Structure formats: C-alpha cells, structure tokens
Amino acid sequence: MPDYTVRMIVLSTENLDESIDFYTKTFGFPLKFRDGNHFAQLDGGAITIALATEIDHPNPGNVALSIKTDDVDAAAKQVDENGGGILRAAYNDAHERRAVVFDNMGNTIVFYKPNPR
C-alpha cells in the first residue's frame, strides 16, 4: 500500500486577488506562492491552502483534498477498486505526477508525487 500524507486543500475561486485578500486579512495566512492570476498557495501551518481558478483547479467549483503519495498510480487504482472513481488518470506535468479521483461520496482527491529535482 502506498504511503499517504495530506498536504493541501484546494479551494475554488473566480477572483484570485479577492480570495488572497480575504484569507490573508481574515486569518493572517501568509502568501507562499503565486502563479499569475490563476493559482496561489497560502501558509495554513501544517496544511497548505491553495486557491485555484478554473485553469488550475482539478475539479472546478469543488474543494479538493491533495495527498502526497509515493505511488500515484497505485493510489488511484486503490480508490477505484474501493468504490471511488477516476476523474483524470495519472499523468505527468512540469512539477509532479498527479491523478485526480473521487471518493465513494463524490469528493475530489488529488494524489501527487513531486518530480525528482
């Protein structure tokens, strides 16, 4: 069985600037990273809070739990075999290997493994 570590929650936004402003002013979460007008990460302590527009959100309009794992493919298969499903099969992007799945109640989960440096 793969190892799992919850690292991030991804929230949908239609206006990145307004969302960053809300979370930094309301809760004091510092901005860690920003990618243009479509994605940002805030420091929520043990968990990163990501704000993503439709361009970068794995399932726009929904909250997504992001879980770091040592085997993305096996993790997605395990979800599929246990009553969940696969929204986007495992693939490689510029920074990581990633799969987007949903649990048995339809909640979005993103499995990822950073690419070697």
Judged by DSSP in three states, 30 sits in coil
- Average pLDDT on 15-32 reads 94
Q: State the alpha helices, DSSP H only, in 28-114.
A: 72-81
Higher-pLDDT residue of 92 and 117 is: 92
The rounded distance, in Å, linking the Cα atoms of 67 and 103 is 13
CA dist., res. 103 & res. 82, Å (int): 9
Residue 80 burial (10 A CB sphere; 0-12, 13-18, 19+)? middle
The CA distance from 63 to 2, in Å, is 23
- The pair of structure tokens assigned to 67 is 């879980």
Domains of the chain: 4-114 (3.10.180.10)
pTM of the model: 0.80
Q: What is the mean pLDDT of the chain?
A: 93
Each residue's pLDDT tens digit, 74-110:
999 999 999 999 999 999 988 899 999 999 878 899 9
Instruction: Give the pair of three-digit tokens for residue 69.
Output: 């794992």
Quick check: 1 pLDDT over 80? no
* Cβ count within 10 A of residue 101: 26
